[in-house]
C-alpha cells in the first residue's frame, strides 16, 4: 500500500449504517497518520441527491480524483487499519480539498 496522504481518494471496505460497503473514501489528515496506525477516512458517495447537508460537498474535479462517476464528500468519518485501504485512486484538486476541509471543521465546530 502506498503512503496515505490527506486528500487521497482511496478504496476501502467502509462501515456504515446499513453494513460494510466497498467504496471510495477520502483520507482526511496527515498528522493523524504520524501517530496512529489507522487511516482516518471520510465517505465519498455517488448518491448526489443524498448529499445535501451544509457538511456535504459535491466534487467538481471528480475525474481528476480517479472517480468514475460524479461524486460527493460526506462527513461520516471512520478509522480503519491502513492495511484495509485497498488502493489509492487519485487525489482531490486544490479547490475541492479546500472545500472539503471547510466541511470537515463544521461537525466538530472548529
| Domain boundaries of the chain, sorted by first residue | 8-108
Better pLDDT: 92 or 14: 92
Calpha distance 101→36 (Å, rounded): 20
Q: Is the pLDDT of residue 50 over 80?
A: yes
Res 86: pLDDT:
93
At residue 23, φ and ψ (nearest 5 deg) are -155, 165
Average pLDDT over residues 37-52: 92
Res 110: pLDDT:
65
At residue 104, φ and ψ (nearest 5 deg) are -65, -30
CATH topology classification for 8-108: SH3 type barrels. (2.30.30)
DSSP 8-state secondary structure symbol assigned to residue 62:
T
Res 41: pLDDT:
92
Interval 72-108: pLDDT, tens:
999 888 999 988 899 999 999 999 999 999 998 887 7
Calpha distance 101→110 (Å, rounded): 11
**Position 1 confidence tier, pLDDT thresholds 50, 70, 90:** low
**Position 3 confidence tier, pLDDT thresholds 50, 70, 90:** confident
Q: What is the average pLDDT value for the chain, to the nearest integer?
A: 90
Calpha distance 29→51 (Å, rounded): 22
The C-alpha cell at 98 is 479546500
Amino acid at each position: 500500500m502506498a503512503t496515505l496522504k490527506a486528500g487521497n481518494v482511496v478504496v476501502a471496505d467502509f462501515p456504515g449504517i446499513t453494513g460494510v460497503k466497498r467504496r471510495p473514501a477520502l483520507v482526511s489528515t496527515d498528522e493523524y497518520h504520524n501517530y496512529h496506525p489507522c487511516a482516518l477516512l471520510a465517505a465519498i458517495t455517488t448518491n448526489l441527491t443524498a448529499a445535501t447537508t451544509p457538511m456535504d460537498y459535491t466534487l467538481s474535479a471528480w475525474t481528476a480524483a480517479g472517480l468514475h462517476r460524479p461524486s460527493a464528500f460526506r462527513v461520516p468519518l471512520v478509522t480503519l487499519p491502513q492495511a484495509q485501504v485497498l488502493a489509492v485512486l487519485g487525489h482531490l484538486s486544490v479547490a475541492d480539498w479546500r472545500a472539503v476541509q471547510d466541511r470537515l471543521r463544521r461537525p466538530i465546530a472548529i
